[in-house]
Amino acid sequence: MKKTINKLFPLIFAAVIAFCGTRAVDVAVAVDREIGEETTSTTYYTTMDNFKYQLSEKLALSPDSMEIWLKMPQNSVGGTLAGNFTHEEMRYNGTVDWKVDAIGRVCIEWNNKQFCHTFKNHSVNDNKWHHVAVVRDPKTHVFSLYVDGELKDWIKCVQADLDGAEVPLTVGVDSSYSTSAAIERVKEPFEGYIRQLTLYNGAITAERIAEDMTNDNVTDDYDGRILGNWYFGERWTERTIKDTTKNGNDAFLATFDKYVGLDKSEFDFDYSFVVIPDVQTLERYHKDDYLNAMKYLADNKDELKLQFAIQVGDLSDVGSVEQYYADAAEGLSYLDGIVPYSFVPGNHDYMDSCHMARDLTYYNKHFPYEKHSKLPGFGGAYEVGAMENTYYLYDIGNVKYCVINLEVGPRKDVIRWAGKICERYADRRVIINTHVYMENSGDIMRDYSASSAALYHWRSYVDVTSGRELFDMLVSQYENICMVFCGHVASDDALVRYDTGVHGNTITSMLINLQASVCDKGLGEDPVFIVKVNESKKLMRCYYYSAAHDAVYNLQNQFELPLYA
């Protein structure tokens, strides 16, 4: 597996290449329903069964021209053909969705839906294969629709280029989600079949469209403007689809909001630890699932060789509602005396939701220093009597860990304190646990990031740092810092990135937060993130496990990573 520095690590690459061999495919197939008109040993993957393909890399240039082969059954309600739109509030750069509506009309949503248009002069809902091309000409500001090589419709509209996308493109579904129980927003998978996708920067000609219609294997660079070509086949059967161009942006089979079988292929591991995501919506809307998830960890400690647990914050969903803290504390108490654990406050754990002060009255009441300072592993706290900034020490044979838990947007003096802990325990692997650090694009949050703590109202009243400041001031500065875990922004997939510290060490950072998946159950999924470690091979096998479903959340969320420690 190639080490990736300062970029989002494509987890689907990890899942398919490093982990999902033949045996893993068989496990997944045992759970997933087979699709096809005739009985066959081949398994077909379709968007109707919540499968998608995801590109491994973000698009650096604006995807102005999109060509796609599709077949839409007459009873289909359409859906998203390809796109990377995520959330109205996130405002990520470079978002576009191409869709088909329920009567077969092609639609485009450009630049965070600032421009939405339905081409009304043609329909493709006749259960036949059609070649659809949506072409944007940046020079004339015209969006054109071609179907089977013929110009069918166009509209003139001035829109900005989508250079520098922050989220990879997916095929067969959009990426939208909601963090609000009051907003009904679901993913829109395409109810039909997609055979091929080709993307270009800038406009392409009618002649080029006609040429591409007869070419599955597009390999030229079109004067450097082709962004990629992927031939999926009339029925999806492959786990990996190679980009036929020189861009190397391969597509990997994934699922969305779908539980699949846990790969049980042999993996010798010495021990494991678990990362518990934001539990705010889980304990609020599905408390029994939350309690059962914690009970699963306690009951299976020996089988998992579980050594410690890390919770990434947002123990409450509403900072001013005390009952949520009590419920969260009840769940974590299942681990008392069985699995050592630590935790941090999230933005929802502050009494006024980060408006005026760092008031953690209920947090410290229900997770009291008096109790937790006496539990196994507790090393100390920034402030005696307060649990927002703590560190824990775990010895696992000859391997020694120090987990440093930091408040939301840590104060600079707290960061200095954490640095002294790293120095004091220079012989230990240090894991940093903090709530707000990575975006669901995989980037480290800066001051201006949409969900950065630095943008909260309290910035005017208290000392607050961004994720990037935390990286620059702490994470990158100490050779023994090997991992960072965080939550806060919702992501259906565990996101991993690698960075290089000033001493040349590699830091693995992961965003672990499944609070707001909207297909199926909606808010409050129960999986926990289990990390099994093989010290001799320097490997970690990771997966999102759901006790409620006895399964893994999403195919791509079981993978192996190198252990840089």
Q: What is the pLDDT of residue 476?
A: 98
Q: What is the pLDDT of residue 19?
A: 33
Does residue 290 share a domain with residue 242? no
Instruction: Show which of 192, 223, 257 is a domain's final residue.
Output: 257
Q: What is the pLDDT of residue 522?
A: 59
Q: Would you say 358 and 393 are in contact if contact means Cβ atoms under 8 Å apart? A: no
Q: What is the pLDDT of residue 451?
A: 81
Question: What pairs with residue 231 in β-bridges?
Answer: 196
Q: What are phi and psi of 8, to 5 degrees?
A: -65, 125
Q: Which residues contact 221 (CB under 8 A, 6 or more apart)?
A: 245, 246
CA distance 364 to 45: 48
Domain-located, residue 69: yes
Sheet containing strand 481-486, edge to edge, reads 7-9, 495-500, 506-511, 481-486, 429-434, 399-406, 390-396, 378-381
Instruction: Show which of 211, 226, 257 is a domain's final residue.
Output: 257
Q: What are phi and psi of 361, to 5 degrees?
A: -60, -55
Q: How far is residue 259 CA from its own chain's centroid?
A: 16
CA distance 474 to 470: 6
Domain-located, residue 425: yes
Domain-located, residue 4: no
208: three-class secondary structure by DSSP: helix
Does residue 464 share a domain with residue 324? yes
This prediction has a pTM of 0.85
Q: Which residues contact 538 (CB under 8 A, 6 or more apart)?
A: 562, 563, 564, 565
Does residue 524 share a domain with residue 388? yes
Give one DSSP letter per residue of 45-107, joined into a string: B-GGGTEEEEESS--SS---EEEEEEE--TT---EEEEE----TTT--SS-EEEEE-TTS-EE
Extract the tokens encoding 207.
Answer: 């002649």
Does residue 223 share a domain with residue 158? yes
Element (DSSP H or E) covering residue 451: none
Does residue 415 share a domain with residue 557? yes
Does residue 304 share a domain with residue 379? yes
Does residue 245 share a domain with residue 100? yes
Q: What is the pLDDT of residue 460?
A: 61
CA distance 231 to 233: 6
Does residue 101 share a domain with residue 76? yes
Does residue 253 share a domain with residue 266? no
Q: Domain of 406: which CATH number?
A: 3.60.21.10
Does residue 216 share a domain with residue 165? yes
Which residue in 556, 557, 561, 563 sits closest to 45, CA to CA? 556
Question: What pairs with residue 260 in β-bridges?
Answer: 552
User: What is the number of domains present in the chain?
Assistant: 2
Domain-located, residue 13: no
Which residue in 382, 293, 280, 303 sits closest to 341, CA to CA? 293
Domain-located, residue 43: yes
- Tell me how far CA of residue 366 lies from CA of 19, 286, 317, 361, 381, in angstroms: 40, 20, 14, 9, 17
Does residue 292 share a domain with residue 202? no
Q: What is the pLDDT of residue 177?
A: 66
Identity of the residue numbered 6: N
State the residue range of the domain holding 193. 33-257
Per-residue pLDDT tens, the chain, 565 aa: give them.
233 333 333 343 333 333 332 222 223 333 333 334 444 468 899 998 889 999 999 999 999 999 999 999 989 999 999 999 987 766 788 999 999 999 999 999 999 999 999 999 999 999 999 999 999 999 999 999 999 999 999 999 999 999 999 889 999 998 776 555 455 556 789 999 999 999 999 999 999 999 999 999 999 999 999 999 999 999 999 999 999 999 999 999 999 878 898 887 889 999 999 999 999 999 999 999 999 999 999 999 999 999 999 999 999 999 899 999 999 999 999 999 999 999 999 999 998 777 777 889 999 999 999 999 999 999 999 999 999 999 999 999 999 999 999 999 999 999 999 999 999 999 999 999 999 999 988 899 988 777 888 777 666 667 889 999 999 999 999 999 999 999 998 888 999 999 999 999 999 999 999 887 654 455 778 999 999 999 999 999 999 999 999 999 999 999 999 999 8
Instruction: Show which of 231, 257, 283 is a domain's final residue.
Output: 257
Q: Is the dihedral of CA 333, 338, 342, 343 positive or negative?
A: negative
Q: Domain of 155: which CATH number?
A: 2.60.120.200
Q: Any idea what DSSP says for residue 189?
A: B
Does residue 239 share a domain with residue 125? yes
